[in-house]
Structure 1
């Protein structure tokens, strides 16, 4: 009692293309809607959607003659499309290979003068130590930033005598290493 599994969209597209390739004929939509369910197991409700997706992808050709739309696809067209795609991919591959080769040469060129020597190792260690020292000094400078004369000069000192006291309390009870107490 197993249920019959339906076809997915790609399987339906492949079977629809088989109709065109096997018959090598030109069809109207109503003809395909009759043939597809009988021969390929494609539900008639999805035929129009599948056919439109094949037309959109350029796999099936269509033309309007009078009031009717005709659809066709020949194996030679698919073969030519695959050949064009293959040529395009081969061209991209060759271009990528050249780019890779160029980058490898560039890497080799940049490695010259960077050989691991004792002198280079010592210089790299010294560089790392200097960078660490720089970070420590930056932190220390930031710690005393409030005492910087330029920063102090930019502080708003209003006309009212009590406002500086309020501003100082708001900033920190300890400014420039001195404890301020207002009683």
Structure 2
């Protein structure tokens, strides 16, 4: 069911931050009590904002006991962060390899062009032959330079930015790991070990170690 209120993105972000920072699950009464001051919204709008976050899969909602509970469980986000980290590292390595290869080809073409010019000065091969070879090398050099210019991902500034992003991803992984531990401890208290194992199986899928009922080591 779509929310009736046209939800403000900044207020949605404030609510999501509050729920994630709390690291506990909330019932609707708790949210209706705190969210108006957190996000500067009317108490009547709380359900619409919560529905909007739920529709976007930003928060989870599940019936536990006699009522619905809402939280932002970070396990999926943790896995996405780890995936982004691996992809960033792979892209970084690939970009560096491409640039090194192109730079080597450009250097080789330049050296050959210089060698041909020196040979021409010394009266070696005919001017016509050397002219054809020079034109060919200049064409190859232009292509290589164009390819090198197109490797924006390998620009030193961009690569440095990716290194910073990788560092941030690592910090996010640690933060989300702590949040998962706290959230799971709460869920064990509420539903017991069997319930928690079932939730892990639902959330982790093939990433679950069935023997220990824990997330597989990466």
Q: TM-score, normalised by structure 2?
A: 0.37
Bigger Cα Rg:
1
Greater helix share, structure number? 2
Higher relative contact order (CA 8 A, sep 6+): 2
Q: TM-score, normalised by structure 1?
A: 0.42
